[in-house]
Amino acid sequence: GAVVSQHPSWVICKSGTSVKIECRSLDFQATTMFWYRQFPKQSLMLMATSNEGSKATYEQGVEKDKFLINHASLTLSTLTVTSAHPEDSSFYICSARDGTRYNIQYFGAGTRLSVL
Amino acid sequence: GENVEQHPSTLSVQEGDSAVIKCTYSDSASNYFPWYKQELGKGPQLIIDIRSNVGEKKDQRIAVTLNKTAKHFSLHITETQPEDSAVYFCAAPTSYGGSQGNLIFGKGTKLSVKP
């Protein structure tokens, strides 16, 4: 299957700092990428949908100024958690949709964010 | 909008037995149904999917069946092995103007295969 690379896999930061997470589609061009948040033992919660070259669409309740998303190219999307606080600690997962393969959605390995 | 219900939430089977996980969806326009396997601390991995023009699809020990009339689809794992232990998610797309939208996920099923 197609590969989606997500980095870093694990990050620890101090409260008040910003953290950037990268998501890359390695062998296909992804016109659409998604960012999810997952709490322990729960399902994936969609945070936002990003289309290359345009502003991201955020789900209700997700602060767009808190979670900055950039999708500058067909293979790269970034999520920046700004002024992180302990309540932002979570597992963040990106996903990319392959428009050439029936819109199949592939996921990255996830990023574990711990804010101290 | 789409609503996906998944059952059971936990499933424990003996190695070699079969496991079945069921999902229902609400949007009759949905036409693509993937299943993902998520191991602890990792991202979901697509294991099989089915489109609405077929009723069943099989890949070695894994199969998915789709009943569009009843709006439900199921994952079948035969001859289960300990490495099949994971959380499995079903999903269905929202549909906007006929094109595929975001995937809506079920709440997941934690499968435990006992050796």
Q: A4-45 pLDDT, tens per residue? A: 999 999 999 999 999 999 999 998 888 899 999 999 889 999
Interchain pair A43, B106: CB under 8 A: yes
Measure in Å the smallest separation between the Cα of B61 and chain A Cα atoms.
18
- Whether the per-residue pLDDT at B99 is higher than 50: the answer is no
- Whether the per-residue pLDDT at A111 is higher than 90: the answer is yes
Residues of B in contact with A109 (CB under 8 A): 42-43
Q: Using one digit for the tens of pLDDT, what is the confidence trace for A83-99?
A: 999 999 999 999 998 87
Interchain pair B34, A102: CB under 8 A: no
Residues of A in contact with B105 (CB under 8 A): 43-44
On whether the CB atoms of residues A24 and A107 are closer than 8 A, the answer is: no
Of residues B45, B49, B108, nearest to A104 (C-beta): B49
Interchain pair A110, B32: CB under 8 A: no
| Beta strands per DSSP E along B1-115 | 4-7, 10-14, 19-25, 32-38, 45-51, 56-59, 62-67, 72-77, 86-96, 99-105, 109-114
Residue B96 is predicted with a pLDDT of 53
